[in-house]
Amino acid sequence: MQKFDFVIVGAGSAGCVLADQLSASGRHSVLLVEAGGPDNSPYIHMPKGIGRIVGDPKRNLFYQTEPEPGNGGVGEVWLRGKTLGGSSAINGMVYNRGQPADYDHLESLGCPGWGWSEMLPHFKAIENHPLGASAWRGEGGPLGLSLPPADDPLNKIVLSALASLGLRRLEDLNEDHGAGAFGLLPQTIYRGKRMSSAVAFLKPAMRRPNLRVVTGKRADKLLFEGNRVAGLRCVDGTEYRCGREIILSAGALESPGVLMRSGIGDARELQAMGIQPIYHAPQMGCNLIEHRTLTPEYEVSSYRFSQNNRFSGWRLLAGVSAYYAARSGTLSRGSFEIGIFPKVTEGPGRPDSQILLFPYTIDPAKFPLGTGDTPQIAFAGFISRPDSRGSLKLRSSDPMAPPVIRPNYLATEHDRAVAIGTIRYIRKIAGAAPLRDIIVRETSPGPDTKSDEELLAAWSTKGGCGYHTIGTCAMGSNPQSVTDPNLRVRGVEGVRVMDNSVLPHMVSGNTNAPMMAMARRAAALILQGA
């Protein structure tokens, strides 16, 4: 059985960066194990191919959450990428780093070394930004980025409406917008193609003889000799041995399950499932945080301002021709065009809401492939930094049994206030000139949804998740935290976690960019120990 210095579980946003960085010197043998297959579908690499990828069982894992008041009592399905690139191969391609205060807050929670001054160089190192290098951004890095067209008819109108509301427009929306801002949304799209973590980091590294990538192998549990990790067992029985460390990068919905099946978790819960505990970690799977979103939709006066008619018939054929001829046109553009970061609740503090412009709408009856039948646009509203906490627990010791996920949305007064304020702010945008001149009507949740109670009901029954789950292996200096500030799993040796699960609080935005930059810093920590 082959033995590797480092075994990485999960080829997602973090795992691909780790594989690149840990194998770069050539001194260490590295194995990257991915549950899904190769990223060889053309729809992965075509930005608007997301409509064909989201929901494809070959490229997605599906997780059913428990029915709760915050999701309308019916639960919902959470998707995660199952291919090289992980969720970065199926996501909406938003490149949002969060804010400096998010990372400084990490330090204040007992995570030294993860503050903004330490993280900014890693962000800059990975970026190839179209605006060029500056104190805030990088140029020449492996991750190609782009900006939506400012002269698009809808973008011009929305940008003008936002300016009339008094927000600052930033040329680079990843600069400090602590006082509120808006602008064109940076995207992980380069020369008309999606830049997943696999494309940017893994594919160049796969030429190295000391890096091996294995697909189609879903992790079951870790193998220990005493409290020292010795290897990884996959669901199909395949085992891989490690000489130095195993790094779990399987995501906030998978990494805690691997650890619990390995005997690291709440000892009583594990024993009840027939799992022999190795280390009592009662916080394992707790502290789950997810963005709750609601997407108000608006009918507009013309298809000049909506992409809804571009994904069928002759217009789709024309779009395909434009894409393959010059990597241009609608199919080369991302899911969102403009980002808005307002403060929607009263009192001091930084922006507490994130709003993204959809230039189209999804017909639920046709999901995930079909758009609405009339010219419509939408604004996706997020509670930026929710403080409601949920949990993820094992259902059984069977690695194929789905976990028990309780999001616990809208459980705090803060989250409910931001939710209400976000809808009211979106309506404020829709009512600002010149955007109001092209809006025909609000189609969802509808103008009759007015009171606070009705707005909260809309969040519960018509909202969804942001696919940004964090916190289930949260790091910290507290001995009760699952991982320490160097990402090492407490109670055992040779195991680290580097994915969304280690974040003890939500960053102000999407999680793909933070995970890539954090993984770069994590690799430096790991190599220091090696």
Q: Which residues are catalytic?
A: 468
Q: Which residues contact 13 (CB under 8 A, 6 or more apart)?
A: 85, 86, 87, 88, 197, 499, 511, 512, 515, 516, 519
Q: Give the number of other Cβ atoms within 10 Å of residue 501's Cβ.
A: 30
Whether the CB-CB separation of 28 and 210 falls below 8 Å is answered with: yes
- Cα–chain center distance at 168: 26
Which uninterrupted H or E stretch holds 268? helix 267-272
Which amino acid makes up residue 179?
Answer: A
Annotate 15-67 with DSSP letters as a single string: HHHHHHHHHTTSSS-EEEE-SSB-S--HHHHSGGGHHHHTT-TTTEEEEEBPP
Integer-rounded Cα Rg, in Å, for the chain is 22
Whether the CB-CB separation of 231 and 222 falls below 8 Å is answered with: yes
Main-chain dihedrals φ then ψ at residue 498, nearest 5 degrees: -140, 90
Whether the CB-CB separation of 470 and 501 falls below 8 Å is answered with: yes
Q: Give the number of other Cβ atoms within 10 Å of residue 313's Cβ.
A: 9
